[in-house]
C-alpha cells in the first residue's frame, strides 16, 4: 500500500515536470533542473552501490551465488542502453532543443518509449524496495523522486521541440507517469519476483544516474552543477542515518 502511495508521488512529479515546461509563462529558473539532476545523480549512485546492490546479494535466493544478481544488474544497465540509445537515435536528459534531430516521427516516439521503459523500472524499483524492507523502499523512493520532475520536463520538451502542441507534450508526461504506475502495480502483484526485479532495476537506475544524468551535468561545463553530485551523495548519507534513527 505504501509502495503505491510513494510511487504515486514519484509519478505525479513526472506530470508536474510536463506542466512546468509547457506553462505559457516561465516559472522558476531552468537552472533548478540542472541542480535537481545533479542532486538526483549523486543520491542514486550512492543508493545503488551502498544499499540496493548489497541488499540484492543478500536476498535468500542469491546467498552464496553472488554473481547471479550482478548479471541482472548488468542486464538492467544494457536494457536501457538498448532502448534509450540504440533503438532510439536521439535522447538525452534535460530540455530538448534539437528540433532538427526530431524531424522523423519515429525518432520522437522511440525516445519517449525509451523513457517510458525506464520509468516502468522506476516504479518496479520503488515497489521491490518496499517489499524487502520499509527503509529500503523509502530510500529508493527519495532517490528516484529527485529525477522524476526533470524526467517529465524532458519528455514534454521532446514533443514541444518536434512541433507538437503543449497539450500533446503534457500527455507525454502523463504517459511516463502511467508507465511508472504500471511498474508499481505489476511489482506489487508479483512479490515473488523481487530477487530478480530488485537487481534488474538497480542496473536500470545505475544507467539513469551514470549514463543519462551525469553526462547531462558535465555538458553544462559548470563546476557548481558537478559539485551538487557530491551533495547528492551527502544527502543520501544523511537520509539513511535519519531513517535509521527513526526506525530502530
C-beta closer to Zn ion: residue 122 or 240 = 122
| Helix 2-22 and helix 166-189, axial crossing angle in degrees, nearest 10 | 170
CB of 248 vs Zn ion, minimal distance in Å: 30
To Zn ion, the closest distance from the beta carbon of 66 in angstroms equals 27
Residue 172 CA neighbour count, 13 Å, CB half:
30
> Exactly one of 98, 104, 134, 191 binds Zn ion (CB under 5 A); which one?
98
Ranges of H-type helices in 61-165:
67-85, 105-132, 134-161
The residue among 176 and 233 lying less far from Zn ion, judged by its C-beta, is: 176
- CA–CA separation, 88 and 150 (whole Å): 19
Query: Nearer to Zn ion by C-beta: 84 or 122?
Result: 122
The nearest distance, CB 204 to Zn ion, in angstroms, is: 8
Query: Which CB, 44 or 235, lies closer to Zn ion?
Result: 44
Contact segment (CB under 5 A) with Zn ion among 6-14, 91-99, 125-133, 221-229 equals 91-99
* Residue among 119 and 194 whose Cβ is closer to Zn ion: 119
List C-alpha distances in Å: 88 to 81, 101, 141, 169, 208.
9, 11, 27, 18, 15
Residue 205 C-beta: closest distance to Zn ion, Å? 8
**Looking at beta carbons, which residue is closest to Zn ion?**
98
Q: Is the alpha carbon torsion for 144, 149, 155, 157 positive or negative?
A: negative
CB of 108 to Zn ion, least distance (A): 11
Q: Give every CB contact of residue 131 below 8 A, 6+ residues apart in sequence.
A: 3, 137, 187, 191, 194
- Is 122 an interacting residue with respect to Zn ion (CB under 5 A)? yes
Contact (Cβ atoms closer than 8 angstroms) between residue 220 and residue 116: no
Site for Zn ion contains 212 (CB under 5 A): no
Residue number, 84 or 96, with CB nearest to Zn ion: 96
CB of 236 to Zn ion, least distance (A): 17
Residue tagged 542515518 (cell numbers): 241
**Contact track, Zn ion, 136-175, x by CB under 5 A:** ---------------x------------------------
In this structure, how many other beta carbons lie within 10 angstroms of the beta carbon of residue 178? 17
Q: Which residues contact 10 (CB under 8 A, 6 or more apart)?
A: 122, 123, 126, 141, 144, 145, 148, 180
Convert residues 11-40 into a mask of x (bound to Zn ion by CB under 5 A) and - (unbound): ------------------------------
* Site residues, Zn ion (CB under 5 A): 96, 98, 119, 122, 151
Amino acid at each position: 500500500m505504501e509502495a503505491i502511495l510513494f510511487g504515486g508521488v514519484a509519478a505525479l512529479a513526472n506530470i508536474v515536470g510536463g506542466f512546468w515546461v509547457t506553462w505559457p509563462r516561465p516559472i522558476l529558473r531552468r537552472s533548478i533542473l540542472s541542480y535537481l539532476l545533479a542532486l538526483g545523480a549523486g543520491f542514486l549512485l550512492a543508493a545503488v552501490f551502498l544499499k540496493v546492490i548489497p541488499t540484492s546479494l543478500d536476498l535468500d535466493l542469491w546467498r552464496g551465488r553472488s554473481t547471479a544478481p550482478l548479471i541482472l544488474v548488468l542486464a538492467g544497465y544494457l536494457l536501457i542502453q538498448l532502448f534509450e540509445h540504440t533503438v532510439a537515435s536521439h535522447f538525452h536528459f534535460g530540455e530538448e532543443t534539437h528540433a532538427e534531430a526530431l524531424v522523423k516521427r519515429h525518432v520522437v516516439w522511440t525516445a519517449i518509449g525509451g523513457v517510458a521503459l525506464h520509468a516502468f523500472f522506476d516504479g518496479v524499483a520503488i515497489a521491490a524496495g518496499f517489499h524487502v524492507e520499509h527503509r529500503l523502499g523509502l530510500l529508493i523512493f527519495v532517490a528516484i523522486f529527485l529525477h522524476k520532475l526533470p524526467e517529465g520536463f524532458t519528455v514534454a520538451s521532446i514533443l514541444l521541440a518536434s512541433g507538437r502542441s503543449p497539450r500533446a507534450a503534457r500527455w507525454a508526461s502523463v504517459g511516463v507517469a502511467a508507465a511508472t504506475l504500471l511498474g508499481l502495480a505489476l511489482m506489487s502483484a508479483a512479490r515473488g519476483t523481487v530477487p530478480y526485479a530488485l537487481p534488474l532495476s538497480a542496473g536500470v537506475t545505475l544507467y539513469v544516474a551514470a549514463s543519462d544524468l551525469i553526462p547531462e551535468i558535465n555538458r553544462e561545463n559548470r563546476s557548481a552543477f558537478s559539485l551538487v553530485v557530491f551533495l547528492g551523495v551527502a544527502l543520501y548519507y544523511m537520509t539513511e542515518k535519519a531513517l535509521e534513527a527513526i526506525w530502530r
